[in-house]
Each structure stands twice: as structure tokens, then as C-alpha cells.
Amino acid sequence: MKAVKTKKNKRTKTQIKNLKDIPRAELGVGAYDPLWQMLGMWMLFAFFIFAFVIWEKDGHVSSGTKVITVILFVLGVYLISLKKVFREKMNGRVLRMNPEGIIYEWPFGITKQHSYSEWAESINAGHYRIGSRGIEFRLGFEKIVFFYNVALLGERKKAEERYEMFVDYLAKVDPMLREKLPKFTKENIDLLDKRCFYHRSRKHQLIVMFFNMFLFLILIISGGYKGAVTAAYFCGIIEIFVLYFLFKGAYYNYKNEMEIREKMPDETGLVRDDGIGILRPYWGFIYLVLVFGINYAIQCAFLWL
């Protein structure tokens, strides 16, 4: 069955207007494109350094060095220009709800549909969860995510309406699912999108630490003793800022998780997770210790070698 595209349902790069169209990618992540592009520029800078070394030695370097050079080039180009393009292309092929089921649009005009009875069966088997970015449902290799859309109030409201529409369709197949599924309310999502924000913040601080480690290695390898002193100075300043933001995020993540446990009923265990979910309030602090522990271990190893 093919989904029909009309002018009324035309989508822009930043917005999906039709409430029956479920985005495949999170719309708010575009705000972080400059950070990814900066990482891409660092990788291209590293590529030129490696390429210069290979050229100076007339190609007489290890195969590992050549592989790393190619990887740096590919990742650099992807992060600078292609990552944003791929996300926009992904949102160009939405998941479309209709009364019979959900239609998947694939390249070359290929479409596929799963009925709501299939989705209901998968949900009753436990294939859904409250993820770090949104409420997720799985059916085989297919996945639907109703994103929290951090800091995008208009898009968050649309996500709530899409979610309610999805639940209404499911309830026609299995009325008990209306009570079983998590509620996508403003109060709940305010807490959950804070969880998403702190999760994303930790990830981006890790990227900054990657920049820092890369700078450290370049200064150590190319500068000798003076390079080591310069690395200790500049990299130390960066690490102070990362430490501050990670500790701040860990503290507020802890407060938010405690508030989630207090205000959100959790009969299904979706919010807290099972087993390791007990560590959720403390994960920010654990992450901080792991990141800095691994960072200093690598730095010490390079200084001793």
C-alpha cells in the first residue's frame, strides 16, 4: 500500500506538520550540529597531519596508520556535512498512521505496513520502554519513537497528540493498553526531557574530552618536553570546565531522578528500569569518575611510553 503525498502534507526540513506522520529522527538535535561539525574539523585536521606524515615517508608507514588516516577523513566529512543531511533525509521518510496500521516509507517508493494488532501483540510482549529521547515501541526490526523534543514546546505538543492518536488506534484492538501504556503528559515529559537533556549533555561533554585527548596527543608527540608542558596547561583548563559541567549535570540529574521516583507512578518499571535502573540517580557521578579515570589513565600511559 502506498502513502499518497499531497501539497497539504508537504514537510519542511525543520518541521513535520501532519499529525499522522511520525518523525524518524529527533528534531531538536539540530541545535547541536556545530559541536559535531567542530569534531569533524578536528578529524580533518588530524587527517592532514597523518597524510603529511605518509607523504614525507613516501608511503612507507604501517597499514594501521593508513587505515586510521582513511577513517579520519571519512568521519570528518560525515560530521561536517553529511550527518545533518542524513537526518533531514531520514525525516523525509516518515512513519504514517492510518486507521489500518502504520505505513513505512522507504527509498524508491517502497512502502510497508504493520497493523495495530501486530503492534498490540508486540507491546503486550513487553517490547516498549521509556527511553532517553522518547517513548519507544519495537516490532521486529521496526521502531517508533515519540520524542520528548527538548526545548521545542510546539513539537513536543505535536508528539503528545501523535502519541494519543497511536494509543487510540491501539485501544480499538486491545482496550487494556490504554491503561497499561505510559502517559505522555506535560508534567511527565517535563521530568523525562530533563533526563534526556542530562543524558545528551554527558554525551557532548565526552566529545569535548575527545577533542582534549586528541590535542594532548598531538602536543605530546610533536612538542617533546615543551609540548608536554603546553598540553598540561591547555588540556588542564579544558578538563576543569568539563569537570564543572559534568558535576553540575550529575547533581541536577540526581535531583531530577529523585523527583521522577516521587511524582511518576511506575507500576510497569518503565521509568526506573529493572536491575541496573536503581543506579539511574547516580549515573552522572559514575560517568564523571569513569570519564576522568580513563582520561588520566590514557594520558599517563602516553607520558610513560
Note the pLDDT of residue 7. Answer: 39
For 267-279, give one letter per residue: b (16+ CB within 10 A) or e.
eeebbbeeeeeee
Note the pLDDT of residue 8. Answer: 38
d(CA 249, CA 151): 17
| pTM over the 0.85 mark | no
pLDDT band at residue 265 under the 50/70/90 scheme:
low
User: What does pLDDT average to over the chain?
Assistant: 77
Note the pLDDT of residue 9. Answer: 38
Interval 214-257: pLDDT, tens: 777 777 766 666 766 777 777 888 888 888 999 999 999 999 88
pLDDT > 90? residue 206: no
The length of the chain in residues reads 305
Helix, strand or coil for residue 118? helix
C-alpha cell at 118: 501486530
pLDDT > 50? residue 15: no
Query: Across the chain, where does the E strand assignment appear?
Result: 21-22, 95-98, 101-105, 111-115, 128-130, 134-139, 142-147
Under a CB-based contact definition with an 8 Å cutoff, are residues 127 and 138 in contact? yes
Distances (CA, A) of 12 to 4, 15, 110, 216: 17, 5, 21, 42
Nearest Cα to 130, choosing from 285, 32, 26, 272? 272
User: What residues form DSSP beta bridges with 22?
Assistant: 95
Decide which of 221 and 139 is more confident. Answer: 139
Q: Is 61 left (phi over 0), alpha (psi -120 to 50) or beta?
A: beta
Q: Look-up: residue for cell 565526552? A: 206
Element (H or E) spanning 162, and its range? helix 153-173
Interval 274-284: pLDDT, tens: 556 677 788 89
pLDDT > 70? residue 189: yes
Which parts of 18-152 fold into alpha helices (H)? Answer: 33-56, 63-77, 83-92, 116-124
Nearest Cα to 32, choosing from 238, 202, 239, 179? 202
Nearest Cα to 255, choosing from 265, 263, 266? 263
Interval 77-133: pLDDT, tens: 888 877 777 766 766 667 889 888 998 877 677 788 899 999 999 988 888 887 777
Q: Is 100 left (phi over 0), alpha (psi -120 to 50) or beta?
A: alpha
pLDDT > 70? residue 266: no
Our CA dihedral for 120, 131, 154, 168, rounded to 10 degrees, sits at: 10
Note the pLDDT of residue 92. Answer: 64
Share of the chain above pLDDT 70, in %: 79
Helix, strand or coil for residue 75? helix
d(CA 165, CA 155): 15
Note the pLDDT of residue 171. Answer: 93
d(CA 228, CA 218): 10
Note the pLDDT of residue 4. Answer: 39
